[in-house]
Amino acid sequence: MPISVFDLFKIGVGPSSSHTVGPMMAAFKFTAALRDKQVLGQASRLEVHLYGSLSATGIGHGTDHAIIMGLLGERPDAIDPSIITPEIATLKETRRLALDRQVDIEFVWERDMIFHEESLPHHPNAMKLCAFDQDGRALLENTYYSVGGGFVVDQSQVDAKLEDMDTAKIPFDFNSAEELLAICKRENMSISQLMLENEKTWRGEQEVRNELWRIWQVMCECIDNGLTHEGVLPGGLNVKRRARQLHQRLIAAEQNTCLIATTFSAMEWVNIFALAVNEENAAGGRMVTAPTNGAAGIIPAVLHYYMKFQDGACERNVVDFLLAAGAIGILCKKNASISGAEVGCQGEVGSACAMAAAGLAEVMGATPEQVENAAEIGLEHNLGLTCDPVGGLVQVPCIERNAIATIKAINAAQMALRGDGTHFISLDKVIRTMRDTGRDMLDKYKETSKGGLAVNAIEC
């Protein structure tokens, strides 16, 4: 099934694409299905069942709150994040839920929001939604799987072995980096040009450019918000926001004539951009999956770095960067996973690092082979990375991990640009290794908060 760059870069809310954005979208779809079946008005009670990783770390990721928002008829790309906390408080107090903002039903949190220890067979991120009429008869029941990056499939799609109902035919379909490079060579195209031609399957060229520019604007707003907000992040770990203070210190230091612009200060800028995005994500703010929420700081930080430090950087570069990054995200998703619950953090931060390295190499004038090399370096050095968020919150180690990965991505692009594109291990082999390593990884390292830092951090 073809994947669009807009499937990877989706406007949403924090803190998690698989645990917040996906579940909200699933609940929104369920509500729409009740409407389509013309049974919305008969609904009297609802049950929400959470399984596997959605149950284990759902509270820390705001999964329960996101589902309620979807049941209210809110979409992750349109919701005002500031309404979530007060709406949930009101619902818990009144025990009333305005389904689709139309039908007032009873919702008793302790009874109707049900956390199950077990996982469902298809995917660790599963949820079941059931609506009943006033006599307790089922009106609609569906199981949804949040498969990473905000992608959602329901039981019927799983049964039909269709992860996506999109059957569009794209002109340059590719399932491996080898195929991607062969098409680029045959058609004498860059990776971003090839991706643009594919995107034209769904939208006109100008619309693709405008939409990618809009994605970039939301990324920039997210950075700005992260540089403005201060205080302690929600969730109970008492993690302090750092981006604002570090930003102010850096500006002051740069005004000091003793400090000249060095590679070191450029690195500080990149760190701050990544911290800003991930702090905003952890606080439940508006942001863009890139390709997930947990790893959302890497691509905006690297692109911001390019736009800030590269003379003549312009809108066209933003579009090319995101298109080339998207090609690598598609390969990771098709051949391994971008979900921490499936393959650990290598699938989230590793994929984002590879994507950012590829995007940067592309706009720095790399050949397709050098872009592939940059992505390969970016991913290779994140292999084996586990997902072990402390307290089930996307804060520790996630926030700093994004900053570290931005530096890796820039380094990977630089190393690839110094070479001629030939290298020892192909990107395809590294992606395959990520898939196999993820398969061998114990579940406690796959977004369950039952292993790694999640258990050791609270020892004292």
Number of residues that bind ligand SF4 (CB under 6 A): 13
Q: Please, which residues bridge with residue 152 across strands?
A: 146
| Main-chain phi, psi angles of 90, to 5 degrees | -65, -45
Question: Which lies closer to ligand SF4 via its Cβ, residue 373 or residue 402?
Answer: 402
Is 325 or 341 the residue whose CB approaches ligand SF4 more closely?
341
Determine the Cα angle at 405 with ends 411 and 374, to 5°: 40
Per-residue DSSP letters for 288-304?
E-SS-STTTTHHHHHHH
Closest CA to 406 of 312, 302, 311: 302
22 near ligand SF4, judged by CB under 6 A: no
Nearest in space to 320 (alpha carbons), one of 303, 337, 305: 303
Residue 357 Cβ vs ligand SF4, minimum distance, rounded to whole Å: 17
- Taking the complex as a whole, the smallest distance from the CB of residue 78 to ligand SF4 amounts, in Å, to 24
| Residue number, 209 or 401, with CB nearest to ligand SF4 | 401
By CB under 6 A, the residues from 322 to 351 that bind ligand SF4 are: 340, 345, 348-349
Per-residue x/- marks for ligand SF4, 367-406, CB under 6 A?
Answer: --------------------x-x----x--xx--x-----
Q: Is 355 in the site for ligand SF4 (CB under 6 A)?
A: no
Closest contact distance (angstroms) between CB of 369 and ligand SF4 is 29
What is the number of the residue whose Cβ is closest to ligand SF4?
294
Select 183 or 295, whichever has its Cβ closest to ligand SF4.
295
Residue closer to ligand SF4 (CB basis): 45 or 61: 61
* Amino acid residing at 63: T
Q: How far is the CB of 365 from ligand SF4 (least distance, A)?
A: 31
How crowded is residue 163: how many other Cβ atoms within 10 Å of its Cβ? Answer: 17
The distance of closest approach from Cβ of residue 450 to ligand SF4 in the complex, given in angstroms and rounded to an integer, is 12
CB of 405 to ligand SF4, least distance (A): 9
**CB nearer to ligand SF4: pick between 291 and 326:** 291
Query: Between residues 370 and 395, which has the closer beta carbon with respect to ligand SF4?
Result: 395
Among 62, 291, 294, 297, indicate the residue that binds ligand SF4 (CB under 6 A): 294
- Tokens 């389509």 appear where? 36
Task: Specify the residue, 244 or 401, whose C-beta has the smaller distance to ligand SF4.
Answer: 401
Q: How far is the CB of 63 from ligand SF4 (least distance, A)?
A: 13
Task: Scan residues 413-452 and list those touching ligand SF4 (CB under 6 A).
Answer: 447
β-bridge mates for residue 106, sequence order: 45, 96
- 15: cis peptide before it, omega within 30°? yes
Please report how close the Cβ of residue 227 comes to ligand SF4 at its closest, in angstroms.
21
DSSP single-letter state for residue 200: T
Reading the block at residue 154, the tokens are 């329901």
Cα separations (Å) of 319 from 209, 251, 360, 370, 456? 6, 29, 11, 19, 42
- Residue 295 sits in the site that holds ligand SF4 (CB under 6 A): yes
The whole-angstrom separation of Cα 64 and Cα 55 is 9
Beta strands in 77-157 (DSSP E): 96-99, 103-106, 113-115, 125-132, 138-148, 151-154
**Nearer CB in complex with ligand SF4: 12/340:** 340
The answer to whether the CB of 398 falls within 8 A of the CB of 294 is yes
- Parallel/antiparallel/unpaired status of strands 45-51 and 125-132: antiparallel
For 43, phi and psi rounded to 5 degrees? -65, 135
- Based on CB atoms, which residue is closest to ligand SF4, 208 or 399? 399
Contact 58, 24 (CB under 8 A): no
Q: From the CB of 340, what's the least distance to ligand SF4, in Å?
A: 3
Closest CA to 229 of 217, 214, 215, 240: 240
Residue 399 Cβ, how far from ligand SF4 at the closest point, in Å?
8
Q: How many CB atoms lie within 10 A of CB 170?
A: 18
Q: Report in angstroms how near the CB of residue 156 gets to ligand SF4 at its nearest.
A: 28
For the record, the structure tokens of 455 come out as: 């258990």
The label of the residue with tokens 């195929």 reads 179
C-beta of residue 392 within 8 angstroms of C-beta of residue 60: yes
Q: Which is nearer to ligand SF4, 279 or 320 (CB)?
A: 279
Residues of this chain that interact with ligand SF4 (CB under 6 A) are 294-295, 340, 345, 348-349, 387, 389, 394, 397-398, 401, 447
